[in-house]
Amino acid sequence: MRKLLLGLALGLALAVPAAAQNEPAKKKASDAITLPTPAQIKQLTADPVEFKLVGEDDARQLVLTGVLDAGGLQDLTGNVQYEVGDAKVVRVTSAGRVMPLANGSTTITARYGDKSTTIKVAATSMDEVIPISFANHIVPIFTKLGCNSGGCHGKSGGQNGFALSLLGFVPELDYRALVKENRGRRILPSSPDNSLLLLKAAGIMAHAGGKRMELGSDEFKLIRRWIASGTPYSDGKDLEVKKITVHPEQRIISRNNRQQFSVHAHYSDGSIADVTQRAQYESNDPDISVVDATGLVRALDMSGEAAIMARYQGQVATFRATVPLGVKIPSYAFEEKTVVDRFTKKKWQELGIVPSNLSSDEVFVRRVYHDITGTLPTPKQVSAFLADKNPNKRDKLIDHLVETPEYSYYFANRWADVLRVRRGNQAVRAFGNFAFHNWIRESIANDKPYDQFAREILAAIGDESKAPPTVWFRDLRQPEQFVDDACQLFLGVRVACAQCHHHPYEKWSQDDYYGMAAFFGMIGRKAAPNLGLVIQNQNQARQIIFNKGTGNVINKRTGKPAIMRALDSDPVELSAGEDPRHRLVDWMVDAKNPFFARAVANRYWAHFFGKGLVDPVDDMRVTNPPSNPELLDALAQELIKSKFSLKHLVKVMVKSRTYQLSALPNEFNKADKKSFARYYPRRMTAEVLYDAVSQVTASPATFAGLPTDKYAPNRALMLPDEAFASYFLDVFGRPQRISACECERVSEANLAQVLHLLNSQEIQGKLTRAGGRAAQLAKDPRSDTDKVNELFVWAFGRRATQGQMDVALANIERNAKNRQLAYENIIWALINTKEFILVQ
């Protein structure tokens, strides 16, 4: 988000000179494409075909489209010639913006060669002084120019003593700051041009934020007129923007091509205004498409999809640009195995790209063991799979793997990360953590319906010995914490911003936020002693969670008790004694809920495909749409139809042909980053890597604080919480579980990790352990070739190449006196390769 803000700030800093700055880019983009000739166009269409402009500040953005003979659409807004019937009434810029000049009505004819279309326009109220609304006319200027951004006057406390509400979400405060504060020195109605506001913003007087607007620009004139008319707050109508819409909503545009779109604000009285010039824009993938301050989108050289966010007055909408590769592609066969394949294939066809080949059995078996169980297959498991002649052996293996204990441990680890199963430094929490972890693991092993899983956590009552999910209530205490975690975790939305101000990239307001918080306002806690233990402080007590039946949460904005209301829903009336958390869960798990099933489908997708359909996984919002919305909907439906069976969800994903594609790109999909036309390889996580190293070296883990008998957990993935000290796990990014965000687990490589695998006492100890793999193999009577091949299968799931075999055998030869040394070297080299640490 920082990048986004920065981008906004930069974009805005250049707001006025932006046009000039972007000029070369524009030229380059239009140079790079060949527009269709008029003969290639079947028809020229305009949006809108008829409209009215009211008052001198009104304006309208036209969008002109050529319907191609060959199929497809071409934006021609900036390429047609505009002719106005009566040039006294309106004028049209070459970019298709229409502005009124005098009352009257006329027509605009747009011509592209021999094709043309005619638009009717009327201008009225040009001779009236239309009252100005501070909230609807002035505040959006501050937003567009960046005055109220988080880096400037919009930050809490403001900038140099002048504070505006963030992005103008609270106009009353802005009005007070401008007109009343500092004895009104910022505004001078008697001499508007000498108002500090204009002097600073136009750069006439020194302004740390620089020049934000041109003297005499539309914005300048509007603010000036507002000051001159006595700084009214209201225009007598007090309209509210109910939503904004973009036109068109989506287009397929060729590489380096462009598309103008327009933005309309829909007000509470039903009126609609064109706000294309006043909205703010941001592309979610600037490698694919960029947008300027006028809503003109330019596709770049890469194919893919981008969502262009438009924001105006707390409302957001997106324009989707699909940019196909646009080269001739070979035909290919792609068998649809699950619902996944239908929609991935559709996407590849839209984008004009070709999926990679099916992965080999050797690659697949290592991948699927890793992704479902968090372990690498043993040589025995690999050869059994390779030898199996059953054509359905992949499905068979998948069905088997989701029934293994390893599957439940792996996913329990992932869920425990985000459910805050952590000890901190409180030893007393160990008991509850073990219980909660075990509860999660059993839920996964038994395929507890996911709606029930969520309910048992969110609405838990009792103490951790009987209701382990109450452990979740250890870290979370305030209603706000529950809102943040519950929304991020179970709904895949990050609403925390809306605690203190309107969400900058969503429609969520503080009222929406506290509506959710109210569901958590009746949670009661009491402390009971752990039997036989004297309580020394509150943390050592046994915690009992119950429903108080009363209680509310204060809405920070209104200072009054919040109205209990789920996102986008009606207020909830409770009956006496009812636990509101159950009402919240009822809403969540309803088949029509737009968040719940999608959120978990997306989370699991990210696990198996390396990246969420919405990325990051817990940041679903209008302005961050899924890369394949139909696919996400279909997965959510699969889940709902299966009564929330997560195992079913896993199978739908993993049995798909898409999942089983090779990681090796072809010339058509090598730039693909989010349509899953190949398997995106990824690094093993800390625990998985640790266990893999232990397995390859035959040197199982021991962790202080656990039993040491043969039933004790001997894999890092089995650990219930984060409190088991391990430099290895920490350096490879094991999370501390201090948030509900998967992002806490860092998967990026760093130098300290490389050093640890290359040159640590820990790894050396595992390599040289008595009875470890190297020691076993040194004594093993089989041929060295067999043994080296077996090591390669342990590490890579495949046998050594001839060259690799020669190098390994030469090393054994050199260490003939102490073959264990040679095997240590070979294992060391294997676990330090990229092929080992990557799953492909």
Partner 1 sequence: MLTFTGAKQAFCDGLNRRNFLKIGAFGAGLTLADMLRLQAQASNTPGRTAPSRPKSAIMIYLPGGPTHMDTYDLKPDAPAEFRGEFTPIQTNVTGVQISPLFPLQARMFDKFAVIRSIVTVNEHSDSLVMTGKSSRDNMTANHPSFGSVVSRVRSGQAHSAPAFVSLRGMSRGTEPGFLGIQHRPFATNGPGIQNLRQLTTVDESRLNDRRAMLQSFDSLNREVDANAAGLDTFTTRAFDMVASGGVRNALDLNREEQQSRTRYRGVEQFLTARRLIEAGVGCVTMSYGGWDTHGQNFQAMRRQLPNLDKGLSLLVGDLHQRGLLNDTVVVVWGEFGRTPRINRNAGRDHWPAVMSALVAGGGLRVGQAVGSSTSRGERPQDRPLTAPQVLATLYRAIGIDPAMTFNNGTGRPIHIVDDRNPITELL
Binding mask of the shown chain, residues 101 to 140, with x at each position contacting partner 1 by CB under 8 A: ----------------------------------------
Q: How far is CA 91 from the centre of its chain?
A: 42
C-alpha separations of 361 from 365, 368, 544 in Å = 6, 10, 51
496 binds partner 1 per the rule CB under 8 A: yes
Report CA Rg, the chain: 31
Among 97, 494, 581, 819, binds partner 1 (CB under 8 A): 494
Conformation bin of residue 239: beta by default, left when phi > 0, alpha when psi is -120 to 50: beta
Residue number, 279 or 497, with CB nearest to partner 1: 497
- Binding flag, residue 741, partner 1 (CB under 8 A): yes
Count of Cβ atoms closer than 10 Å to residue 249 Cβ: 11
What is the nearest approach in angstroms of partner 1 to the Cβ of residue 423? 15
Positions 641 through 700 that interact with partner 1 (CB under 8 A) = 663-665, 670, 681
- Which of 502, 56, 507 lies closest to 244, judged by CA? 507
Of 637, 714, 736, 785, the one binding partner 1 (CB under 8 A) is 736
Please, which residue, 156 or 229, has the CB nearer to partner 1? 156
**804 binds partner 1 per the rule CB under 8 A:** yes
Residue 558 CB, shortest distance to partner 1, in Å, is 22
Q: Which residue type sits at 396?
A: K
Question: Which residues in the 460-479 window bind partner 1 by CB under 8 A?
Answer: 478
373 closest CA partner among 648, 600, 607? 607
What gap in Å lies between CA 142 and CA 148, rounded to an integer?
A: 6
CB-count burial class (<10 Å; 0-12, 13-18, 19+) for 393: middle
According to CB under 8 A, which one of 764, 776, 783, 818 is a site residue for partner 1? Answer: 764
Instruction: Give the residue ranges of DSSP H helices in 183-328.
Output: 196-201, 218-228
- Which long-range contacts does 688-691 make (Cβ < 8 Å, 24+ apart)? 688/370, 688/374, 688/375, 688/410, 688/716, 688/717, 689/732, 689/837, 690/716, 690/726, 690/728, 690/729, 690/732, 691/374, 691/375, 691/715, 691/716, 691/717
Give me the least distance between CB of 559 and partner 1, in Å please.
Answer: 22
- Say if residues 830 and 804 touch (Cβ distance below 8 Å): no
Which of 144, 123, 92 has the alpha carbon at shortest distance from 295? Answer: 144
Among 750, 776, 783, 818, binds partner 1 (CB under 8 A): 750
Minimum Å gap between C-beta 131 and partner 1 is 37
Task: Kindly tell me which of 18 and 829 has the beta carbon lying closer to partner 1.
Answer: 829
Least distance CB 471 / partner 1 (angstroms) = 17
Task: Closer to partner 1 by CB, 528 or 755: give it.
Answer: 755
Told to check if 535 binds partner 1 by CB under 8 A, we report: no
Confirm or reject binding of residue 762 to partner 1 (CB under 8 A).
yes
Residue 66 or 797 with smaller CB distance to partner 1 = 797
Cα diameter, the chain: 103
Q: How far is the CB of 772 from partner 1 (least distance, A)?
A: 14
- Taking CB under 8 A as the criterion, the residue among 274, 484, 579, 672 binding partner 1 is 484
**Total residue count of the chain as it appears in this document:** 840
> Applying CB under 8 A, does 42 fall inside the site for partner 1?
no
Q: Check binding of 509 to partner 1 (CB under 8 A).
A: no
Rounded Cα gap, residues 244 and 250, in angstroms: 15
**According to CB under 8 A, which residues from 579 to 618 bind partner 1?**
616
Looking at beta carbons only, is 37 or 802 nearer to partner 1?
802
Give the binding site for partner 1 (CB under 8 A): 1-2, 5, 150-151, 155-156, 478, 481, 484, 488, 494, 496-497, 616, 619, 663-665, 670, 681, 727, 730-731, 733-736, 738-741, 743-744, 746, 748-752, 754-756, 758-762, 764, 768, 801, 803-804, 807-808, 811, 814, 821, 825-826, 828-830, 832-835, 838, 840
